[in-house]
Chain A
Amino acid sequence: GAVVSQHPSRVICKSGTSVKIECRSLDFQATTMFWYRQFPKKSLMLMATSNEGSKATYEQGVEKDKFLINHASLTLSTLTVTSAHPEDSSFYICSPKPGQGSYNEQFFGPGTRLTVL
């Protein structure tokens, strides 16, 4: 399967700070990037979809000014949680998608576990 990396894998921060999560597709070019969030014992919920070079499209209820997404290149996307609060503590997972074909595939990064104190 495709190789997707996320950094950091785990982060603990104080309330009010900003946290940047990087997602890299190491062996293919991702024209589309999906960012998901998973609360404990819950399913994955899509936060936003971004296309390389374009503004992200956010799902209903997700604050675009709080969760900043940058997809400036075909191999790197970043999610910045601004002014994080304890309720933002969650597991964040990226899912890059190639532009051509691969309709029957969708790979995910290993995830970033964010804990806000």
Chain B
Amino acid sequence: AQKITQTQPGMFVQEKEAVTLDCTYDTSDQSYGLFWYKQPSSGEMIFLIYQGSYDEQNATEGRYSLNFQKARKSANLVISASQLGDSAMYFCAMREGSRGAQKLVFGQGTRLTINP
């Protein structure tokens, strides 16, 4: 079963608009973490934001915020005031449990294109 689901293969947004990238997850663990990464055409994975399952506040990092709805098991990324440089692949990932290797499992990704 897919643990991380990103249902939007591609998104097209006008510059300066806000955009929401969807991510839903599936886990039976109480302790888990959710990550968002940006991958430009160079291939590097750029860490954007993290949300812990016990965090009561939605995470924010500059123009990035995470809309965490625990009951719905969703962790959508919101990018405010989009810029041309935001065009890239975006991946949602989850780390389960508090012990062991704690590997990251990734969603399929969403390709975001910002139009001028």
Contacts and interface: CB of A to CB of B under 8 A. Distances in A.
Interface of A: 1, 32, 34, 38, 42-46, 49, 51, 57, 91, 93, 95, 97, 103-108, 110-111, 113
Contact of B43 (A32, A51, A91): A91
A43 B47 contact: no
B106 A43 contact: yes
Interface of B: 33, 35, 37, 42-45, 47, 50, 52, 91, 93, 95, 98, 101-109
Contact of A34 (B52, B98, B103, B108): B103
Contacts of B45: 44, 93, 95, 108, 111
8 contacts: A34-B103, A42-B108, A43-B109, A44-B91, A95-B104, A105-B47, A106-B47, A108-B37
